[in-house]
C-alpha cells in the first residue's frame, strides 16, 4: 500500500484531479483497491474524494503540501526520528516534513513530549496514548495552521529541550536558511533559543530557491536531514560551517 500511495500522490501532484478509473488503470489494480488507498490517504488529510474522482487538498495549506515529494519527505522524517530516544522532550516547528516526523515519532517512540506551535501537527497525532503534546499559544494563521506572535516566545521560555526540528522554505548561500513569512520566521527564532540543537528537515529542491526572510539563527544549525540529491557544493558549504549533513 505504501508504495502505491506514493504513486497516487505523485500522480495527483502532477494532475491535481484524477478519475478513480484512470488511477486504477495507471497503477494496474482494481478500482476497489484504489478506493481503499484513497480512503486511507483521505483519513491522513492529504487528499479529498469526490464522486469518481480524487484530488489534492489546497496546496497552500500543510495538508496539500504533504503530497508534494511525499516519498522523499517520508524518508527524511524516518531518518530524523532515529535521532530521538524514548522519553525525550523536543520541539517541532510547522511544516510537512515536520508533520511526518511527528507521525513517525508517535508510532516508534515511547513517553515523548512534543512541544509545537503547529495546530496541524497537534491534531495530526492526536489520540496517541503514549505521547504528550504541548501546543504553544499565539496568533493563528489559518492556511498553515500555525501559531505565531510574541506569545510563542513567552510560552517557549518555560522549556529547555535538547532538540528542535524545523522546516524551511529555501536556502541562500549568503544568508542561509530562509522562510517566506516574517512571523513564522520569528517564531522559529524564539523557539530555537530554548534548544541545544536545531535540526532542519527539507527536500533537496529547497536548496535551489530561497524565501525573503532569513532565519538568522544565532546558535546556528546543528544538523540538516535531506535527500541524496542535495548539491555537493551546498553540502560542503554547510559542513564547512560545522553543520552535520545527513542524506537519505
How much is the pLDDT for 62?
A: 61
Same fold, 2-56 and 73-247: no
Grid coordinates given for 90:
523536543
How confident is the model at residue 152, as a pLDDT? 98
Which architecture characterizes domain 73-247 according to CATH?
3-Layer(aba) Sandwich (3.40)
Distance of CA 105 to the CA centre of its chain: 13
- Residue of 239, 243, 235, 230 lying closest to 72 (CA atoms): 230
Question: Where exactly are the structural domains of the chain?
Answer: 2-56, 73-247
- The residues, ordered by sequence, that sit 6+ positions from 73 with a Cβ below 8 Å of its Cβ are 66, 96, 97, 100, 203
Question: Could you read off the pLDDT tens digit of each residue along the chain, which spans 248 residues?
Answer: 557 877 887 788 777 789 999 999 999 999 999 999 998 888 776 788 888 988 877 655 565 566 677 888 999 999 999 999 999 999 999 988 999 999 999 999 999 999 999 999 999 898 876 899 999 999 999 878 999 999 999 999 999 999 999 999 999 999 999 999 999 999 999 999 999 999 999 999 999 988 899 999 977 899 999 999 999 999 999 999 999 999 99
**DSSP symbol at 118:** B
Alpha carbons 72 and 225: distance in angstroms, whole number: 11
Tell which residue, 111, 102, 42, has the closest CA to residue 78. 102
How high is the pLDDT of residue 48?
85
- Beta carbons of 14 and 56 less than 8 angstroms apart: no
- Residue 104: per-residue pLDDT: 94
Q: What is the pLDDT of residue 188?
A: 97
Q: Are 195 and 184 in contact (CB under 8 A)?
A: no
Q: Say what the pLDDT of residue 148 is.
A: 97
pLDDT at residue 60 in the model: 53
Of all helices (H) and strands (E), which one includes residue 71? helix 70-81
The pLDDT score that the predictor gives to residue 55 is 85
Three-state secondary structure call for residue 90:
strand
Please choose, from the candidates 219, 136, 227, 213, the residue with its C-alpha nearest in 3D space to the C-alpha of residue 175.
213
Does the 2-56 domain belong in CATH 1.10.10.10?
yes
Amino acid at each position: 500500500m505504501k508504495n502505491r500511495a506514493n504513486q497516487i500522490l505523485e500522480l495527483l501532484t502532477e494532475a491535481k484531479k484524477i478519475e478513480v478509473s484512470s488511477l486504477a488503470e495507471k497503477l494496474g489494480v482494481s478500482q476497489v483497491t484504489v478506493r481503499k488507498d484513497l480512503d486511507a490517504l483521505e483519513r491522513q488529510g492529504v487528499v479529498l474524494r469526490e464522486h469518481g474522482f480524487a484530488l489534492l487538498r489546497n496546496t497552500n495549506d500543510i495538508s496539500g503540501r504533504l503530497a508534494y515529494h511525499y516519498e522523499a519527505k517520508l524518508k527524511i522524517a524516518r531518518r530524523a526520528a532515529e535521532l530521538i530516544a524514548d522519553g525525550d522532550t523536543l520541539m517541532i516547528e510547522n511544516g510537512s516534513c515536520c508533520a511526518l516526523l511527528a507521525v513517525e515519532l508517535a508510532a516508534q517512540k515511547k513517553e515523548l513530549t512534543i512541544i509545537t506551535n503547529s495546530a496541524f501537527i497537534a491534531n495530526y497525532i492526536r489520540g496517541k496514548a503514549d505521547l504528550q503534546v504541548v501546543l504553544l499559544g499565539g496568533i493563528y494563521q489559518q492556511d498553515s495552521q500555525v501559531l505565531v506572535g510574541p506569545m510563542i516566545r513567552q510560552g517557549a521560555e518555560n522549556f529547555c529541550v535538547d532538540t528542535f526540528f524545523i522546516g524551511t522554505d529555501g536556502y541562500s548561500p549568503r544568508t542561509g536558511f530562509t522562510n517566506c513569512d516574517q512571523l513564522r520566521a520569528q517564531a522559529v527564532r524564539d523557539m530555537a533559543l530554548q534548544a541545544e540543537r536545531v535540526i532542519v528537515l527539507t527536500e533537496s529542491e529547497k536548496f535551489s530557491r530561497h524565501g525573503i526572510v532569513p532565519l538568522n539563527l544565532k546558535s546556528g544549525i546543528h544538523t540538516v536531514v535531506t535527500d541524496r540529491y542535495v548539491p555537493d557544493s551546498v553540502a560542503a558549504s554547510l559542513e564547512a560551517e560545522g553543520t552535520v549533513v545527513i542524506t537519505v
